């Protein structure tokens, strides 16, 4: 019988590998949307319209995320977290590879954007079930005093996936020539996903189901997970949605939107420069995620979240404001610094959100909160920020939006309940909302 730390390490590593692959697939699309998908699939005489259209397809994945959360949450709450995670990995990888072989608008006309949106929707369904399940696998398998640290393994997959995605695009921009990415090179990162799928499936099948599911959920008389979540968990689900603006939407403002803003008119920064800056920033975030998660167990995960929200606001403004000056050292420095501060809003998120709910319908509840929150904040933030700049003519409008999002997240973090998995659960799962706060929160 493996020790609890051994089981937690295996679950953490499985969560890390799986989310790395899922986020790689997701960020490959996000980077391509910022750089090439507009003119290739939505040609227009207005470059801003092309970018906005590409970001609109980016938003499609977030719109369908809640439905993925419902579907895979049901599987995860009824049949187990592991099975659900294997299915999401297969769905995401298959959709990504198919994007890599998709003909462009110049070849098949209107069918190109239709098929692109369809495959993007499949990605959204998969991610809608992936993150919540991976968070549960890592947090539920962890000892009570180390839940934030092991939950950080799920969050580690985000910078790792971003590092792989932007790193590949940065290499192509540096060594492939000015037109290489536009003239077919963009397909390579999508096609490489096929190699990662097999690795992820192998790792996922080797990890045990969580003890919380085996002892408190599996085989017990349960209501429909969705019905239970909406009836009993509606309040923490709403708080979870409000907790996510910076952890999800702010992240895409600092990456996807910032990339498009830098390379677009009137700044027109060299693509290689911003891609190099984002790649280094992803590597820095990768290095700091687990130490920040460890601090969440020492200082309190909510305390770390507050620090991240405040410092992100202080760094986001100068990061965007230095772009027009094209001062490359400052762009590199601030791109990395904003990712460090935002990591403090992301590293403890898996544990905070997971522990907001009791075991029954937890997968569905977490996936709903994260999926709806991501649809609202992350799905539309790059598009809305692009429109704000067009409407106001000033990047300050985006900075004000970011600040308001951080304020909302701070309030919802304060109100978020935290439960202990040590509490007994009856066969009937008597509905009872406990608003007590875990002592490390």
Tens digits of residue pLDDT in 86-135: 898 889 889 989 999 999 888 898 898 889 889 989 988 988 888 888 88
Q: What is the pLDDT of residues 201-231, one digit of tens each?
A: 777 777 777 777 766 665 555 668 898 899 9
Tell me, what's the pLDDT at 272?
82
How are the residues of the chain apportioned to helix, strand and coil, as percentages rounded to the nearest 5? Answer: 80, 0, 20
Question: Domain for residue 434, yes or no?
Answer: no
Bond prior to 334 in cis (omega within 30° of 0):
no
**DSSP label at residue 324:** G
Is 137 contained in some domain? yes
In Å, how far are 156, 228, 261, 287, 290 from 153, measured between CA atoms? Answer: 5, 29, 31, 12, 7
pLDDT at residue 124 in the model: 86
Q: Domain count of the chain? A: 1
**Full domain range(s) for residue 360:** 4-415
Give the integer Cα–Cα distance in Å for 368 and 378: 14
- By C-alpha distance, which of 124, 131, 68, 75 is closest to 349? 131
Q: In Å, how far from its chain's centre is CA 334?
A: 21
> Which letter does DSSP use for residue 412 in this model?
H
Q: What is the mean pLDDT of the chain?
A: 85
List Cα–Cα distances, 102 to 36, 185, 258, 320, in angstroms: 14, 13, 27, 34
Higher pLDDT, 82 or 56: 82
C-alpha distances in Å from residue 208, one per residue of 3, 82, 139, 141, 363: 12, 8, 13, 9, 17
Tell me the C-alpha distance between 148 and 304, whole Å: 11
Contact 65, 1 (CB under 8 A): no
151 located within any domain:
yes
Is the residue at 299 inside a domain?
yes
Rounded CA-CA distance 249/227 in Å is 28
Supply the pLDDT for residue 284. 94
CATH of the domain at 293: 1.20.1250.20
In this prediction, residues 55-76 reach a mean pLDDT of 84
Residue 407 structure tokens: 């304020």
Q: Are 38 and 56 contacting, i.e. CB atoms less than 8 angstroms apart?
A: no
pTM over 0.85, yes/no: no
Asked if residue 425 is part of any domain, the answer here is no
Region 230-240 average pLDDT? 94
pLDDT over 80 (residue 422): no
Among 194-198, 226-230, 369-373, the least confident range? 194-198
Residues 16/155, Cβ–Cβ less than 8 Å: no
Residue 411 lies in a domain: yes
Q: 200, 18 in Cβ contact below 8 A? A: yes
Predicted confidence at residue 416, as pLDDT, reads 95
């Amino acid at each position: 019988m493996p020790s609890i730390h051994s089981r937690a390490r295996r679950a953490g590593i499985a969560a890390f590998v799986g989310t790395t692959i899922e986020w790689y697939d997701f960020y490959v699309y996000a980077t391509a949307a910022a750089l090439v998908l507009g003119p290739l699939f939505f040609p227009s005489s207005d470059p801003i319209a092309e970018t906005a259209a590409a970001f609109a397809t980016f938003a499609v994945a977030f719109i369908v995320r809640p439905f993925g959360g419902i579907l895979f949450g049901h599987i995860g709450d009824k049949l187990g977290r592991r099975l659900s995670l294997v299915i999401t990995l297969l769905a995401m990888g298959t959709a990504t590879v198919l994007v890599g072989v998709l003909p462009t608008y110049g070849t098949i006309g209107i069918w190109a954007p239709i098929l692109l949106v369809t495959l993007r929707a499949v990605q959204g369904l998969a991610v809608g079930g992936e993150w919540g399940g991976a968070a549960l696998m890592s947090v539920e398998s962890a000892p009570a005093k180390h839940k934030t640290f092991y939950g950080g393994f799920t969050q580690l997959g985000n910078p790792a996936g971003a590092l792989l995605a932007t790193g590949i695009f940065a290499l192509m921009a540096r060594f492939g020539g000015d037109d290489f990415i536009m003239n077919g090179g963009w397909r390579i990162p999508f096609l490489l996903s096929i190699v990662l799928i097999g690795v992820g499936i192998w790792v996922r099948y080797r990890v045990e189901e969580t003890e919380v599911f085996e002892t408190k959920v599996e085989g017990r008389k349960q209501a429909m997970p969705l019905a239970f979540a909406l009836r009993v968990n509606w309040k923490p689900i709403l708080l979870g949605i409000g907790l996510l603006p910076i952890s999800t939407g702010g992240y895409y403002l600092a990456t996807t939107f910032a990339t498009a803003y830098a390379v677009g008119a009137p700044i027109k920064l060299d693509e290689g420069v911003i891609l190099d800056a984002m790649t280094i920033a992803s590597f820095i975030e990768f290095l700091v995620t687990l130490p920040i998660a460890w601090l969440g167990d020492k200082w309190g995960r909510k305390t770390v979240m507050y620090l991240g929200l405040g410092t992100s606001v202080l760094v986001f403004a100068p990061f965007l404001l230095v772009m027009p000056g094209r001062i490359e050292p400052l762009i590199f420095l601030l791109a990395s610094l904003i990712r460090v501060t935002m990591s403090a809003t992301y590293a403890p998120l898996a544990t905070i959100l997971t522990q907001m709910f009791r075991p029954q319908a937890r997968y569905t509840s977490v996936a709903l909160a994260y999926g709806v929150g991501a649809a609202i904040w992350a799905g539309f933030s790059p598009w809305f920020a692009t429109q704000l700049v067009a409407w106001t003519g000033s990047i300050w409008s985006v900075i004000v939006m970011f600040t308001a999002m951080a304020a909302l997240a701070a309030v919802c973090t304060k109100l978020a309940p935290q439960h202990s998995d040590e509490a007994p659960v009856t066969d009937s799962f008597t509905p009872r909302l406990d608003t007590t706060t875990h002592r490390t929160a």
